[in-house]
Amino acid sequence: MPLAYEIRNGYLLWIRNPFTGVISYAVELRAKSFAYTLRRHHSHAERPPPASLDPRLLHQALENCPFCLGHEDRAPNEIMRLLPEQVAHWQGARALPGASWVIRAFNNLFPRIPGELTAGKNESYLIVEDPRHFLDQPRSLNDLIYTGALGEEHFFAVMGVAAQLIKQALDNTAIGSVVVRKNQGPESGASQPHVHQQVIGAPSILPALEIELRAQREDPTLWEKMVRLASELELTIESADGVISYVNPAGTFPQSYDVMAPRFFGLLSELPQHQLRSFAGVFYRLLAFLGPLPLDYEIHQGGGLPLHAHINVRRFPYSNVAGTLNIPRHLPEIAARIRRQIGAGRK
Ligand SMILES: [Zn+2]
Ligand SMILES: [Zn+2]
């Protein structure tokens, strides 16, 4: 269905998601309290240190974690690893001197799609993004390392590993499409606290991509229109080297962002290195702004789609009422705040 929306007196009143048909109504949410939704997510720095966090609890969490350093034998056979000297500016060197890896990849013990459907091979992969489990000086068991804390070069290396796994999955002729997926925080469906993401090969075009391709066939200028609308509404965050990020008012969640290479119709694994760096950079700076908030992201690619990622943040409560969502009317202010912070970080 076509992209439909209404702008009145300069602000967006409503917009319909061109893929799902869900309508997002922009309403005043500034006075609304989100204390209940966000009670678990005061930032690391804001929270006072507890009188006593039992070090045995921290130790136990590390001991139980299959993705921590020294527990390599608890995961399926390793496919790939990057050594500390292969990840520029790795920030964990001080906390974990002598670490034998920084990024590791292996098959997911629990494949998303049964191997029987992909020529008898498990084509679900897991990337452990860092051997560190907790942030420096954790104040609670929730002070976990998150992707936005890794550093830009490190995230570029994680994207490089994802690109390698995409290639590997596509070597299997039974694979029709590959998606990169992250769940950050239990609210987004993460089942492991240790920072990781997934690469999933599927036997056919994945349903979400199929729906996007259908909409793109109906209106080949759809993505351009989205990018232009974001610009018109002052929702663009960055635009660099053919990669754009913006607040998506018609996202799946009330706070969603897109990172897009609107003129690149290939796979992440086909991006030239300099553009992969730009894509990873624009993507990372947004993740760094979002910090440890629960979120998911998915990289959509292939079949003639422009390469893009959707980031869905659990910042505002998700409450879908009969196919409608509420988005905050002050989205342009949110975008401006992100632009300022990203700009300040790059000076
Ligand atoms: Zn761990
Ligand atoms: Zn998409």
Residue 171 CA to ligand 2 center (angstroms) comes to 23
Among 46-50, 89-93, 95-99, 117-121, the minimum mean pLDDT is found in: 46-50
pLDDT over threshold 70, residue 214: yes
pLDDT at 159: 98
Ligand 1 centre to CA of 72 (Å) is 11
Residue-level pLDDT at 123: 97
Looking at per-residue confidence, does 97 or 317 come out higher?
A: 97
If you measure from the C-alpha of residue 211 to the centroid of ligand 2, how many angstroms do you get, rounded to a whole number? 9
Cα 98 to ligand 1 centre (Å): 17
Contact predicate 4/15, CB 8 Å: yes
- Render pLDDT for 314-338 as a digit per residue (tens, 0 to 9): 887 778 899 999 999 999 999 999 9
Cα–Cα distance measured from residue 102 to residue 61, given in angstroms and rounded to the nearest whole number: 19
Number of H helices, E strands in the chain: 6, 14
**Nearest Cα to 248, choosing from 18, 1, 91, 50?**
18
In the structure, what pLDDT confidence band is assigned to residue 38 with cuts at 50, 70 and 90? low
Count of all residues that appear for the chain in the document: 347
What confidence category does residue 187 fall into, taking pLDDT thresholds of 50, 70 and 90?
Answer: confident
Residue 116: strand, helix, or coil:
helix
40 pLDDT tier (thresholds 50, 70, 90) = low
pTM (two decimals): 0.94
pLDDT in tens, 217-260: 999 999 999 999 999 999 999 999 999 999 999 999 989 999 99
What would the pLDDT profile of 77-96 be if each residue is shown by its tens digit? 999 999 999 999 999 999 99
Lowest mean pLDDT among 32-36, 44-48, 188-192, 279-283: 44-48
What's the whole-number mean pLDDT along residues 259-272? 97
pLDDT score of 66: 96
Q: Give the Å distance between the CA of 300 and the centre of ligand 2.
A: 5
Cα–Cα dist 186/139, whole Å: 19
- 150 three-state secondary structure: coil
pLDDT in tens, 127-155: 999 999 999 989 889 999 999 999 999 99
Query: What is the 132 CA–ligand 1 centroid distance (Å)?
Result: 7
Q: How far apart are CA 282 and CA 342, in angstroms?
A: 10
103, 188, 123, 164: CA torsion to nearest 10: -40
Residues with C-beta atoms within 5 A of ion ligand 1: 65, 67-68, 133, 194
- Cβ 150 vs Cβ 129: under 8 Å: yes
Q: Please, what is the end-to-end C-alpha distance for the chain in angstroms? A: 42
Whether the Cβ atoms of residue 225 and residue 3 lie closer than 8 Å to each other: yes
- Checking if the pLDDT of 39 tops 60, the result is no
Task: Report all structural domains of the chain as residue ranges with CATH numbers, in order of start.
Answer: 1-31+207-347 (3.30.428.10), 55-204 (3.30.428.10)
Q: Classify residue 287 as left (phi > 0), alpha (psi -120 to 50) or beta.
A: alpha
Residue 43 clears pLDDT 70, i.e. is over it: no
pLDDT over 80 (residue 45): no
Cα 167 to averaged position of ligand 1 atoms, centre (Å): 27
Q: Dump pLDDT digits (tens) for 62-71.
A: 999 999 999 9
Give Dmax (Cα) for the chain: 61
Ligand 2 centroid from CA 6, angstroms: 22
The tokens of 285 are what? 């700076």
Confidence (pLDDT) at 233: 97
DSSP 8-state code for residue 342:
H
Stretch 9-21: mean pLDDT:
95
The helix (run of H) or strand (run of E) holding residue 261 is: strand 255-261
Mean of per-residue pLDDT scores for the chain: 93
**Lookup: tokens for 17:** 């998601």
Which ligand neighbours the alpha carbon of 71 most closely? Answer: 1
Distance 321 CA to ligand 2 centre (A): 23
Q: Which of 182, 207, 152 is nearest to 296 (CA)?
A: 182
Provide the pLDDT for residue 345.
Answer: 81
Residue 49 is predicted with a pLDDT of 58
pLDDT at 22: 96
pLDDT of residue 52: 66
